[in-house]
Each structure stands twice: as structure tokens, then as C-alpha cells.
Structure 1
Amino acid sequence: GYRVIDALTTLAFDYPRRSPFFTKELEVFLALAYESGLPLTDMKGSYAGAMGLGQFMPSSYTAYAKDFEGDGVIDIWTNPNDAVMSVANYFVAHGWRPGGDVIAAADFNGDTSVFEGGLKPKKTIAELSSLGVTSRDKVPTNAKATPIKFEGKAGDEYWLGLHNFYVITRYNHSAMYAMAVYQLSQDLRARML
């Protein structure tokens, strides 16, 4: 990993387009290091300053990181329990619905412009069905979804991203990332049962 202080300083001062964002993250990081007593130059992260196992930006750390162990230390770098609990807390804060569906397989026969609506679910399953995107899974017709197209091994795959899928994309703004998280969760669930 990279030293977080170096990554944030470089991006704050040498990346004009995103300078306001990274300057704020640098400010939060410096305050975090001071208040927590964590060694400023020892904290490692990504090239963009994301920290720990959950890759939290400093502002996300201060807002969502949790001490799962109850030992008075929030350690998202080496303590998987704190890291996982912190990500779960992030999801809850962004509206995760326990037991809610994440994504539904779909069939598609219509205008491809339907896939240009972004990640936030805006149309109901019924509305999307009238536009040629029909769910293969049992999902309430009044549930809101966003149609998503992925390139699969055998060609295009069509999906309907539901509310919890959108919550995952708040953590990382990529449909592919959210799909990978979902598929990994299903694999882990199958192994545990």
C-alpha cells in the first residue's frame, strides 16, 4: 500500500480537477490522526488515500467506522471484525433493507436507451416490463429497479438492480463492483448452508 498522507497530499495539490475533494479528505485525515493518536506516516492505503480492509476514505472512516470488538480501538487495517462491521454500518446508513432482494435476472427486448438511466432505481418493475425489460425472478411489480446490462461469457446479460443493489453502489459507484459483491455473497452463503 501507499502512505495515506502521501496519496492525499499529492492528490490535493497536484490533481486540480479533484483538488477540493482530496483537500477535504486530507483535512479529515490529519484531524483523525491527531485525535486518534494513530501514527500519521504509518497508515497505509490505496493510491487514492482509501484506508484499511474496507478501503474507507477518511471522511467515511470518521462517519461509519466501528469498534466491533469493544476494545476502544477502531482498526479497519488489521482487524477483519472492525472492517466488516464498518462496511455493514455504511450500508445501514445508506438504507440497506435487511432481507431485501439485491438484483433480479431479466430478459430484454426493447430500446437499449433504457440502460442509460444510471444506478439509482427510478422505475417500477411494471414500468420496466412495458419498456421490454422483464424480470425472470419473483419481484413485486411496484418495486423500483434500474436495468443493467453486463457482458457475459455467452453474450449480454440483463439484470434489474433493486434498492439494496443501489446501496452497494453508494459504497463503490460501479455496477460491476456491486454485482461482484452480490455474487460473492451468494457463493459464501451457499458454502455456509
Structure 2
Amino acid sequence: MMAGCTTQAARQDPVDSADLEAFANTMADRHGMDANAIAALLNDEAVHQQEIIDAISSPAEALPWYRYRRIFLTQDRIEAGLEYWQAHAALLDAVHARYGVPAEIVVAIIGVETRYGRYRGRHRVIDALRTLAFAYPPRADFFRSELEAFLILANEEGIDPREPLGSYAGAMGVPQFISSSYRAYAVDFNNNGRRDLFSEAADIIGSVGHYFAEHGWREAEPIAVPAQVNKSRVDDLLRASLKPTDTVENLIDAGVKPRQSLAFNQPARLLALETDNGTAHWVTLNNFYVITRYNHSPLYAMAVFQLAEAIREAYP
């Protein structure tokens, strides 16, 4: 698995090789893997990349909504989403039937993540995870666990760990699953004996549907509804948590007026977004929260929702 090592000469590497060897020994103890092979992979093959540290320190989700949405809500992305839906309509219907997740949501996720597979990231996953696991203290524990999951995944799925490309955070494949999510939620939807999120549309689309179902997607329920608010009370209703911890009834009692009828007992959360014309307010519901399980950002979830709506409206 680790053959063909080449020395990465003269790189600026802040990582102590002893830390890499300790990690390799842990992998051997926990999973029976070859410690020498893993140490060679991490010391001699994987490359520390400062640009990965720079990228994760200034993510797009830090932008205001009116700038963030312009990245994803484009006519090109809508039209490409329509084409993707038409090309995979039968498969999307099958995933909807099995998991209850509508086609437009699956398509929008893939559209936001990789423009329907066109842009899957340019960093080797092994480089990203090594860099973040050993040279990014704020989230080192998380990324060490992801590096562990990636090496296990490579063994399970017969992947050469030197080859996959992905995001600066180590997400990979058309739907950009991190390693732990790949292991937990990827499915062999076409029953050919492997879970391939890089090239098999059935597994790609099926895995997105399965991910949402496992995180509590509720079929046919609304996702988010625009609302008017009582400006004197709105600050008391805005929560830091992404989870819908209020109810529609509580929000209405506090002066929120959703522009669509909603069940009073539905869990809900008020969301404020910066637009070109001021602040817009939305009542977000369970399925909006489920989208944030894919990426823990309300901006991301709103981009997926609005792209999905635009694609659905364009679908004949």
C-alpha cells in the first residue's frame, strides 16, 4: 500500500517526525496496521502545506450572506444542476423512494460541494490531513481522528492513500465526504461490492440520501420560510445554536410572522441573514438543521436550500 516512497526534500516542515511515528504505532496497536509503512507514508510521502493552514483559517462561511450566496446561486450552477438531474433522474427517484430525500436537495448538495463533480479539490487528502493533524493545534484532535479514519478507509476500500484529491479539510469525492463520514454513511447503492464516491453516480447520489436520512431528514416537511419580525423583540429570539430549540408557536407569540402556514408544534429557529437591502429573517426548521449536519454553517444550508429551489423550479 505504501510502496514507491519518494523523499520530499527541503520542505519547511514544522512537524516532529517522532509525533508521526507515535501516531503510526498507535495505528498498529489499534488496528493491526504496519507501523513502519504508515511512518514512511507520513514522513516521506505526505507533504506539509502551509496554504492548507491559511485556507482553513479564513473559510468562505465567514463571509456575509449577500457575498456568500453569489458564489453558489449562479445561473450556470442552476443550469448544470438541471442537467445533472435530467441525466440521473431514475437514480434520484430511487434514492428519494428509499430515503425520503428529494432529488433537488441531493442535486444541490453535489452542486454546492463540487459543481456536480467538476471541482473536487486540488489537495491530496493525505497532505491535508497530515498538515491539519500535526500542525493546526486548534483542531488537531479532530484531524488526527480523520487521518486515522482515512487510513482505515484506504484499507477497507482498496484505495491508495497517496492518490485521492480533495478539499483543504480532507473532504473527498463528488459529495465531499470526510473520511469518518465516508466510512459511516457511504453506501454501495448499485450493489457491486464497493462504495465509490469518486466515479459511481449510484453510490454518490445514494450516499448523500443515506447521510440525510441518518441525520433525521423528514420527508415532505418544509426547510425554511421567510418571515417578518417585531424588531423590538428579534434580538431575544436569535440563538447561537443551529438546532431549532424554539417552536413555531413560540416565535409567532414573539411577533414573528412566517410567510407560510406551519404547524405550531414544529421545532424552529429564527435566522437573520445580511442581504444587499438589509437584514432578512427566516424561520428554519428540522430539515434545515439536517442540512447543517453536512456543513455546520447556516449560510451553507441556506445556499443548498435556495439552489435546490431554483433547480426544482427549472425542472420540467
Tell me the TM-score normalised to structure 1 length: 0.94
In the alignment, which residue of structure 1 is the partner of 2:28? none
Q: Contact 2:288/2:301 (CA < 8 Å) preserved in 1?
A: yes
Deviation at 1:80, TM superposition (A): 3.4
Aligned to 1:176: 299
| 1:73 is aligned to 2:211 | no
Report the Cα offset of residue 115 of structure 1.
1.3
Aligned match of 1:20 in 134, 141, 151?
Answer: 141
* From 229, 242, 261, the counterpart of 1:108: 229
Alignment counterpart, residue 124 of structure 1, candidates 242, 247, 256: 247
Q: Give runs of aligned pairs for residues 31-46 of structure 1, distance below 5 A.
A: 31-46=152-167
| Contact 2:129/2:170, CA 8 A, preserved across alignment | yes
- The alignment partner of 1:147 has SS state of strand
Alignment of 1:134-173 (within 5 A): 134-173=257-296
Q: Hey, what's the Cα distance between the residues in 1 that align with 2:240 and 2:246?
A: 10
Give the Cα–Cα distance (whole angstroms) in 1 for the partners of residues 182 and 279 of structure 2. Answer: 37
Q: Does residue 1:6 correspond to 2:127, yes or no?
A: yes
Cα displacement (A) at 1:149? 0.7
Structure-1 residue corresponding to 2:105: none
Contact 2:239–2:269, Cα closer than 8 Å, also in 1: no
Unpaired segments ≥5 residues, structure 1: none
Cα distance in 1 between the residues matched to 2:242 and 2:135: 30
Q: Work out which of the two has the higher radius of gyration on C-alpha atoms and give 1 or 2.
A: 2
- Output the CA distance in 1 between the equivalents of 2:307 and 2:297: 15
**CA deviation string 1:122-168 (max 9, x = no partner):** 11111111222221111011111000011123221110110000000
Q: Is the 8 A contact 1:125 1:134 kept in 2?
A: no
Distance in 2, matches of 1:183 and 1:70, equals 33
Amino acid at match of 2:300: Y
Structure 1 residues 174-183 or 69-78, which shifts more? 69-78
1:62 CA drift (Å): 0.3
Name 2:23's counterpart in structure 1.
none
1:89 to 207, 210, 214: 210
Count of aligned pairs between the two proteins: 193
Structure 1 vs Structure 2 CA RMSD:
1.3
1:29-65 Cα distance to aligned partner (Å, 9 max, x none): 1111122211111111111111111111100000001
User: SS at the partner of 2:226?
Assistant: strand
Identify the structure with the greater helix proportion: 2
Instruction: Percent identity, please.
Output: 46
Q: Could you tell me how far apart the structure 2 residues matched to 1:107 and 1:133 are?
A: 6
Q: Report 1 or 2 for greater relative contact order, CA contacts < 8 Å, sequence distance ≥ 6.
A: 2
AA matched with 2:310: D
- The answer for unaligned runs of 5 or more in structure 2 is 1-121
TM-score, L = length of structure 2: 0.59
Report if the CA contact (8 A) 1:68-1:85 is conserved: yes
